[in-house]
Structure 1
Amino acid sequence: MDLAYIPSPSSGVIDLGPIPLRGYAFCIIIGVFVAVWYGGRRWVARGGQVGTVADIAVWAVPFGLVGGRLYHVITDYQLYFGEGEDWVDAFKIWQGGLGIWGAIALGALGAWIGCRRRGIPMPAYADALAPGIAFAQAIGRWGNWFNQELFGKATDLPWALKIDADTDTGTVAGTYHPTFLYESLWCVGVALLVIWADRRFTLGHGRAFALYVAAYTVGRFWIEYLRVDDAHEVLGLRLNNWTSIVVFLAAVAYMVLSARHSPGREAVVEPAAVGDGGGASDGGPAAAKAAPAGSSPVTTVKEPRATPADEDGAAGGAGDAAPSKKG
């Protein structure tokens, strides 16, 4: 007999009158809100304008949702285009199924379009948003709890997750590793790591975002290894394990090369904020003085020191639209 375990919701839908509120979609929406809100605070602390992060998110979020769904459908095509399956299910995103790899890749494309339209550097925007994305993933992973999906191997640990039997998927009722919880906690840790490293080492030119990517993939590798859901394998490793390895190496390589090519942090992240006299109130880019001739503005302009409320206002909270299914 299991003395303790984490119960699963009997249903992933809460009916608010005629409106069905799906737990999975609700977690994604809350995660996106937290990412944009906290990213906006960090952007303003860096010297940007209020509202810029939200304006660019109008491009990034839809692109990210499409990219996340495409990655899931392509890598698990048999769930939608196999014998006896209905391809229409590929559009039922509320049933779960967002791949973080596709969400970040296509979301970055949308953010690049938004940044280009605003005339701001994409790496600086990514740095501001990085910890917020990790918080968003932490929240989004609870959508898997509502759907009773993406759990790990069977276990009798006190924090095991109780899963109901499912004849459609062949799931046997029992208690399993709550991999959704492991990844949620890991993402919170990643967000706090990025916040600390950004303040300690004054990361710039996309290196805070690269640190988030590298740290996330480390956790994703071992969490993926615990999962028991069907997945394509290459040389004995799940596809997402190989993706984690490749993305980790790319992120580390970017941090090294970026530090050599563009040391320090951007002095100005949003030219319009400088022109309007906006930005951070404590010596932000709008108040920065020009660097002496022949010197680098990155190394001669002092970075504004944000108040704890600016940098860590959401550190105690939780916060990309998180992946689901094989995501």
Structure 2
Amino acid sequence: MNLTIVLNSIYSYLVNLRPEYDRSSRIAFTIGNISVMWYAIIIMSGAIIGTLYGYYRFGKRLGLDSDTVLTGLALGLIFGIIGARLYYVIFTASANEIEYKSFLDVINPRDGGLAIHGALIAVAIYLPIFCKLNKIKLLTLLEIALPLILFAQVVGRWGNFVNQEAFGGLVKVPNLANYGEITRYTVLDDATLIAQREALSHMLIPNFVINRMYISYSNASGFLCAGYYYPTFYFESVLNLTGIVIYMIARKHIKKILVGDGISFYLIWYGIVRFIVETMRTDPLYLGTTGIKMAELTSIIYIVLGITWLIVRRIKKIQMISCWDALYKEGANMRYDDYVMKPKKEKQNEQ
């Protein structure tokens, strides 16, 4: 008997090559008739952890009180969730991907259906208003908040893991060539599944993630057949965490990094990462029926805006304050202590 066949038989006996996905695993617990989803808990956890770190690491020392921070977090989450859901609904409806039969369908994101770009747009509208009302320096807040928002996204991506969504294409291995054209009815043998698992393992993906990436059925447009798929949510989470670590270290030790450069870091880094990951996704949002992926288009816009801000602020010399002076130096603060709402002065006619 062929040694490879023997080894594959032993492997398939020891490892469940076709782990079944239990949809009930999405539910963390129930209160009466209400099911609380892991997806929501994970997203909330990322936002709360990021906010607490930002407050105790910077905000408290720089003059922010806990009431202001908690109010800002609560309103920010509300704006973010509304924006994320509306963005998702608008573009899935315009592309005829999902039919929303009632208002309850529109506002129900418990099983997923949130788009981070929509959340970012909503928060971008909310933050300047919040800063104006609370006399907070917007650039300083953004410098602290944006890396932490990226951290919240790092954590939030694991909601996709629980929901078995936001995955890439079928893992490519030489064995697939034996099947010709692959359809939803193609059945992959044990040797092919083992090869797919090994390919993912060589990418340093943990086994618990690999097990979740066996997908037997999905309505995602890129789903081919039951098999192992690339965990794009995992790639995005790891890459963004790497970016946060790099920027946080650089910001503390390189004095040429200015308050507000975190805006450029976020837009450029996340834009590049999301663009790369989106090329692998099998369930993207499209711009109507054009075939243009919204995340790729938005990512390009992010990158352009990030580079533009980085250059223009230095040409125009907009608030040229180093992060060291604003965040780490003794005596720095976030508030405009002398901030007063003043009416605009009327132009005096020249005599």
CA displacement at 1:213 relative to structure 2: 2.0
Q: With structure 2 as the length reference, what TM-score do the two structures score?
A: 0.69
| Count of residue pairs the alignment pairs up | 276
Contact persistence 2:221–2:282 (CA under 8 A): no
> CA, structure 1 residues 184+63, in 2 after alignment: closer, same or farther (shift >3 Å)?
same
Task: Give the Cα separation in 1 of the matches to 2:102 and 2:96.
Answer: 6
One-letter amino acid of the counterpart of residue 257, structure 1: V
Task: Give the Cα separation in 2 of the matches to 1:137 and 1:42.
Answer: 19
* Corresponding residue of 2:251: 198
CA displacement at 1:68 relative to structure 2: 1.3
* Corresponding residue of 1:14: 28
2:64 to 41, 45, 49: 49
* Corresponding residue of 1:308: none
Task: Give the Cα separation in 2 of the matches to 1:84 and 1:208.
Answer: 38
CA displacement at 1:190 relative to structure 2: 2.0
Task: Give the Cα separation in 2 of the matches to 1:121 and 1:43.
Answer: 13
- The answer to which of 6-15 and 27-36 deviates more is 6-15
CA displacement at 1:53 relative to structure 2: 3.2
- The answer to which of 252-261 and 41-50 deviates more is 41-50
Unaligned runs of at least 5 residues, structure 1: 270-278, 287-327
Task: Give the Cα separation in 2 of the matches to 1:219 and 1:240.
Answer: 11
> CA, structure 1 residues 6+94, in 2 after alignment: closer, same or farther (shift >3 Å)?
farther
Q: Max radius of gyration: which structure?
A: 2
One-letter amino acid of the counterpart of residue 217, structure 2: A
Q: Render the CA deviation track for 1:32-55: whole Å, top value 9, x for unaligned.
A: 101211221343376232424333
What's the % identity of the aligned pairs?
26
Task: Give the Cα separation in 2 of the matches to 1:37 and 1:169.
Answer: 39
Q: Render the CA deviation track for 1:184-220: whole Å, top value 9, x for unaligned.
A: 1112112112212221334344211321221111111
Q: Render the CA deviation track for 1:66-117: whole Å, top value 9, x for unaligned.
A: 1111111112115888568555322111111222222112112222222111
> CA, structure 1 residues 17+46, in 2 after alignment: closer, same or farther (shift >3 Å)?
closer
Unaligned runs of at least 5 residues, structure 2: 1-7, 172-195, 334-351
Task: Give the Cα separation in 2 of the matches to 1:95 and 1:120.
Answer: 36
* Corresponding residue of 2:216: 164
Contact persistence 1:186–1:216 (CA under 8 A): no
Q: Render the CA deviation track for 1:240-293: whole Å, top value 9, x for unaligned.
A: 111101111101111221233232238997xxxxxxxxx98x72236xxxxxxx
* Corresponding residue of 2:339: none
Q: With structure 1 as the length reference, what TM-score do the two structures score?
A: 0.73
RCO higher in 1 or 2 (8 Å CA, sep ≥ 6)?
A: 1
One-letter amino acid of the counterpart of residue 155, structure 2: I
DSSP-derived class of the 1:14 partner: strand
Contact persistence 2:143–2:261 (CA under 8 A): yes
- The answer to which of 203-212 and 82-91 deviates more is 82-91
> CA, structure 1 residues 170+88, in 2 after alignment: closer, same or farther (shift >3 Å)?
farther
Contact persistence 1:35–1:135 (CA under 8 A): yes
Q: Note the 1:4-83 alignment, pairs <5 A.
A: 10=22, 11-16=25-30, 18=32, 20-44=35-59, 47-51=62-66, 52-78=68-94
- The answer to which of 176-185 and 222-231 deviates more is 222-231
Contact persistence 2:93–2:99 (CA under 8 A): no
* Corresponding residue of 2:293: 238
- Calculate the aligned-residue CA RMSD, in Å: 3.2
* Corresponding residue of 2:240: 187
2:163 to 136, 147, 153: 147
Contact persistence 1:62–1:107 (CA under 8 A): no
Contact persistence 1:73–1:80 (CA under 8 A): no
One-letter amino acid of the counterpart of residue 314, structure 2: A
DSSP-derived class of the 2:214 partner: strand
